[in-house]
Amino acid sequence: MKYMPGSSPTVAMEKTNEANGMTRDQQGRLVSAEHLTRRVTRYESDGSLTVIANSFQGKRLLRPNDVIVKSDGSIYFTDPGGNAAPEEWDVTISGVYRVSPDLGSISLIIDDMVRPNGLAFSPDESTLYVADTRRRHVRAYQMQANGTIGKEIMRAAVDVLKRVTLELGGKSPNIVFADADLEAAASGAFGGIFFNQGQACVAGSRLFVEASIADELVEQVVQRAGAIRLGSGLDPETQMGPLISANHRTRVRSYVDSAAEQGAEVAVGGSEATIEGLEGGFFLEPTVLTGVRNDMKAAREEIFGPVLAVIPWKDEDELIALANGSDYGLASGIWTSDVSKALRVAERLDAGTVWINTYGMFDVAVPFGGRKHSGFGKELGEEALEPYLHSKSVWVDLTAAVPQSGQGITR
């Protein structure tokens, strides 16, 4: 049906049978998930109907529920499955399916759902989210996501009272004191932000440098960043690969532009890069921003890309205020030759993990998790098991089991 306010609804698509989910593709054509006829269809501009999917590997779909179209033309839809179908239906297991842009193939991309319902993409289309709140046998959710998605997970868990563990990213401070080994600190700052193209929750994206050595340290980091070899992740010579998508690259660049508009300087990088033979890759030059203030957007929000914000400081109290002046509290790094000072600062940092004279170390026995908007709960270590365990108290009144009339009792 088609409805415009102030008028009566009119029929827009007559050949569907209990249409359920509906969306539009990039050409404005309606795409529908049909409940009873067990198929996904597209309403063409000439009024005809194209069947996009009604089977998977020879098995008939059960009851497609929701449908969404990605910018590349690929179509995703849910099929809730279940045991309600007559035996003669040759149905597949429930799950989420993807149809290629040319409609040439259909694939099952998620097959462990019970009753998948709604579908949604993240803003950059790098992540597909599936509503599946009716999984009554699931007692806890563990999610790695951004803060917006984490809040949605919590809201979904409220109605069904599920336990939730969230790891929601960070804006981690990497701190360098004047007495640090500057070569080691430069290496740690370099690796802390450019590992995995900066697409890491623990990325040391804020570099706090004691003012007296800021220029020297920044020069070393800039030289290393400018010499990075971009390329394919399959090439052993590659030092940094592409970002996850074109949309994400645009988003990362917007933070660089925002910082420049607010008075920061781009010491190196900041532009898209084209690699011979990989012209379709979403490459971005490793970027170092100087003259950054802690209140700038590039210093407050998680960029999730190869962008390092350098912020100088003069005394320890100022440093702590700057480092903790973030909504996030996932990780942090400290570089100094004074271990007592390092431990003192580590105690004052509001972060779940502190690395001293190293960055990005993990061990299966050591708990990892964040504070504030970086989430709660732990991965790794004994604490990681706690969200999945329940204690039980059992009381027995042994006085009521006193033997009577010659009956025996075993204690």
State residue 197 phi and psi, 5-degree precision.
60, 25
The answer to whether 300 touches 322, Cβ cutoff 8 Å, is no
The answer to whether 36 touches 63, Cβ cutoff 8 Å, is yes
At residue 93, the pLDDT reads 63
Task: Report d(CA 192, CA 225) in Å as an integer.
Answer: 12
Annotated catalytic, 167? yes
Question: Among 44, 152, 201, 383, which one carries the catalytic annotation?
Answer: 201
The neighbouring-strand residues paired with 164 are 141
Residue 347 CA from chain centroid, whole number: 28
At residue 18, the pLDDT reads 53
The answer to whether 250 touches 209, Cβ cutoff 8 Å, is no
Instruction: For residue 238, give the amino acid letter.
Output: T
Task: Read off the pTM.
Answer: 0.67
Which tokens is 177 given?
């004191």
Question: Among 167, 210, 285, 301, which one carries the catalytic annotation?
Answer: 167
What is the sign, positive or negative, of the torsion defined by CA atoms of 15, 17, 23, 26?
negative
DSSP states of 305-350 as a string? SSEEEEEEESSHHHHHHHHH-SSEESEEEEE-S-HHHHHHHHHH--
At residue 137, the pLDDT reads 61
Q: Output the tens digit of pLDDT for each of the chain's 411 residues.
A: 333 344 444 444 444 445 567 777 877 888 888 766 778 888 887 878 888 787 777 677 777 778 888 888 888 888 776 444 444 445 556 778 888 876 667 888 777 665 676 788 888 887 887 766 555 566 777 888 778 778 877 877 776 777 888 888 899 999 999 999 999 999 999 999 999 999 999 999 999 999 999 999 999 999 999 999 999 989 999 999 999 899 899 999 999 999 999 999 999 999 999 999 999 899 999 999 999 999 999 999 999 999 999 999 999 999 999 999 999 999 999 999 999 999 999 999 999 999 999 999 999 999 999 999 999 999 999 999 988 888 999 999 888 666 666 555 554
At residue 401, the pLDDT reads 63
* Residue whose token pair is 């949309």: 247
Domain ranges of the chain: 19-129, 139-168, 173-384
**CATH superfamily, domain at 19-129:** TolB, C-terminal domain (2.120.10.30)
Pick the CATH number of 173-384 from 3.20.20.70, 3.40.309.10, 3.50.50.60, 3.20.20.10: 3.40.309.10
At residue 13, the pLDDT reads 45
